[in-house]
Amino acid sequence: MTQANNKTIQALQWTGNVLKVLDQRQLPETLVYDDYRDAAGVMEAIAGMRVRGAPAIGIAAAYGVALSVILHYAEDPAHWRQKVAADIDRLATSRPTAVNLFWALAEMKTLLTQPLTDPPAAFIARAEKIHADDIAANIKMGELGADLLTGAKGVMTHCNTGTLATGGYGTALGVIRSACQRQPVNVYAGETRPWLQGARLTVWELAQDGIPVTLLADSAAAWLMKSGAIDWVIVGADRIAANGDTANKIGTYSLAVLARQHGVKVMVVAPTSTIDWAIENGSRIEIEQRNQNELLPACYIKKGSLVSAWNPVFDITPAELISAIVTERGVVLNPAEQGMRGLQNDI
């Protein structure tokens, strides 16, 4: 089985009472970790894009709850549960689309109703398990996804779905890592505007692992596909509806439409914690709209400006444009035909 690279830079480091978060906004020029000791700080780190990627957001939130318990149990052993519950509610407001956030918070919240002899230890153990389980799931998905890539000459990925976006190893990037250990594969990464996760994070992360990668402008994807260089587009997910419709970084839908036009297959790679069983299709997935100032040049950010910006962070790729959805529980081929329900009994 493929092993995670222990030398790979980790997005999150837990020390026992401090969560160290790699500030991904400063990569690749500067590698700096910020220390967080309470839930409020973790919430700001998530909302402010210091930590990003659906699995990593969920893991960070779990550690945020553990920090809340450490703090409030020490201050007020009689009423700590109410204060932790309030912190969980606040953490849930940090990002609206990534379902892993709400899944992880629900996992942590179950402990609030249980009798605990050592609450801080119990919550820390649960957060550490969520973290470890994510790494194990990523490695499994890497193997399953690589099985589908046998004979592929070129793959393209979007946004960042590696160690920086997960507990370790990665989802879509984990598949690429596993595939590159088996056979030569040409890897292409789009810039991923407007935050440039592809240019700043993905190509940097692959280079750290010794994997050659070619960066291209997002707008060059169609021409690259037409050249015949790409066999698969491989992406992650922030939320998957029960029918297989998938929310992912803005621009994913465009790539899926282009892939269908050019006979390129699309693979979505995500743990089962990303599946929202309560949502039947993608029309019910809330799409986060971030501040227009993240997109606008400074000269347009002024009162009375005639220039505004539309800044959705995600889009929805319908299941009929997806060739395979890879989870740690198995692979769903042609999800438009069956949706995700076949996996539900295995969870």
Q: What is the pLDDT of residues 282-325, one digit of tens each?
A: 999 999 999 999 999 999 999 999 999 999 999 999 999 999 99
Q: What is the pLDDT of residue 270?
A: 96
Classify residue 228 as left (phi > 0), alpha (psi -120 to 50) or beta: left
Of these residues, 238, 245, 276, 315, which one is catalytic?
Answer: 238
Q: What is the pLDDT of residue 5?
A: 44
> Most distant CA pair in the chain: distance in Å?
66
Q: Does residue 3 surpass a pLDDT of 60?
A: no
Confidence of residue 4 (pLDDT cuts 50, 70, 90): very low
pLDDT tens-digit series, residues 8-55: 689 999 999 999 999 999 999 999 999 999 999 999 999 999 999 889
pLDDT tens-digit series, residues 257-275: 999 999 999 999 999 999 9
Interhelix angle for 99-109 vs 119-148, to 10°?
140
What is the residue-averaged pLDDT of the chain? 94
Q: What is the pLDDT of residue 345?
A: 65
pLDDT tens-digit series, residues 167-184: 999 999 999 999 999 999
Q: How many CB atoms lie within 10 A of CB 44?
A: 13
pLDDT tens-digit series, residues 194-241: 999 999 999 999 999 999 999 999 999 999 999 999 999 999 999 999
d(CA 144, CA 142): 6
What are the structural domain ranges in the chain? 12-135, 143-344
Q: What is the pLDDT of residue 8?
A: 65
Average confidence (pLDDT) over 146-164: 97
25 CB contacts (<8 Å, ≥6 apart)?
48, 49, 50
Write the class of the CATH domain 12-135.
mainly alpha
Q: What is the pLDDT of residue 1?
A: 33
Query: What are the DSSP calls for 211-244, one per residue?
Result: ---EEE-GGGHHHHHHTT--SEEEE--SEEETTS
Instruction: Tell whether domain 143-344 is in CATH 3.40.50.10470.
Output: yes
pLDDT tens-digit series, residues 85-106: 999 999 999 988 778 899 999 9
Confidence of residue 346 (pLDDT cuts 50, 70, 90): low
For the question of residue 238 being annotated catalytic, the response is: yes
Confidence of residue 333 (pLDDT cuts 50, 70, 90): very high
Could you tell me which of 270, 216, 215 has the C-alpha nearest to residue 247? 270
**pTM of the predicted structure, to 2 decimals:** 0.90
